[in-house]
C-alpha cells in the first residue's frame, strides 16, 4: 500500500472521485502543511495556520497506479487558480500534489508538464508539487461528508462553481 495526498480546495469535493476506484483502500480528509499542531477546522478555515485542506488516499499501486490517481486529480480542480478553488477562497484552498516518494514526485512533475503543454488552459498551471508535511485527520463530521449529507453536498458542489468549471474545461 502507498499513500497519495492531494489538495484541491474543499476536501468534501475531493473524496467521491477516488472512492469507487479499484485498489483504493481508504480516503481521509485532513490538513497538511501548516504550523499549528493538531489544527481544528475552525482554525484552518481562517487561512492563518498555513495548512491546506487535503485528501489522503491509501491505494494499491499494483491495482490502481499513481498515474491513474493523477489523471483523476487534475479534472477535479482549476490548476490555474493560486488563491483558492471556485467559491472557496484563501490559502487553505490552494491546490497541491504532496508526493510521498521520488517516483510520485517525478510522475507528478511529468503530469503537470503535460497539462501545461496541452493547451487546455490559457493561464499557467500553478498547482504546487511538494513533499508532504504531517497529516492531521479532519474532524469526524468531515469524513465522507458527501455520503452523510448528500443533499448539502450536492448543493455545495453546484453553488461552488466546481461542476460548471469541470464541464467547461475538462469535458472538451
Reply yes or no on whether 13 is catalytic.
no
Per annotation, catalytic residue among 4, 10, 77, 97:
10
If you write DSSP's letter for every residue of 49-85 in order, what string do you get?
A: S-PEEEEEEEE-TTTS-HHHHHHHHGGGS-TT-SSEE
**How many CB atoms sit inside 10 A of residue 106's CB?**
12
Tell me the CA end-to-end span of the chain in Å, nearest whole number: 34
132-170 burial code (b ≥16 CB/10 A, e <16): bbeebebeeebbbbbeeeeeebeebbeebebeebbeeee
Contact residues for 158 (Cβ-Cβ < 8 A; gap 6+): none
Which residues belong to the active site?
10
Amino acid at each position: 500500500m502507498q499513500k497519495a495526498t492531494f489538495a484541491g480546495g474543499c476536501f468534501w469535493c475531493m473524496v467521491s472521485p477516488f472512492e469507487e476506484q479499484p485498489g483504493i483502500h481508504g480516503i481521509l480528509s485532513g490538513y497538511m502543511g501548516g504550523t499549528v499542531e493538531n489544527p481544528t477546522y475552525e482554525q484552518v478555515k481562517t487561512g492563518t495556520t498555513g495548512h491546506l485542506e487535503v485528501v489522503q488516499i491509501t491505494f494499491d499501486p499494483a491495482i490502481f497506479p499513481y498515474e491513474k490517481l493523477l489523471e483523476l486529480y487534475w479534472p477535479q480542480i482549476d490548476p490555474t487558480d493560486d488563491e483558492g478553488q471556485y467559491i472557496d477562497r484563501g490559502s487553505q484552498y490552494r491546490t497541491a500534489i504532496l508526493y510521498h516518494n521520488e517516483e510520485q514526485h517525478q510522475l507528478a512533475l511529468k503530469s503537470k508538464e503535460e497539462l501545461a503543454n496541452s493547451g487546455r488552459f490559457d493561464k499557467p498551471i500553478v498547482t504546487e508539487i511538494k513533499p508532504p508535511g504531517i497529516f492531521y485527520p479532519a474532524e469526524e463530521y468531515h469524513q465522507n461528508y458527501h455520503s452523510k449529507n448528500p443533499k448539502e453536498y450536492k448543493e455545495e458542489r453546484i453553488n461552488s462553481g466546481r461542476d460548471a468549471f469541470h464541464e467547461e474545461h475538462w469535458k472538451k
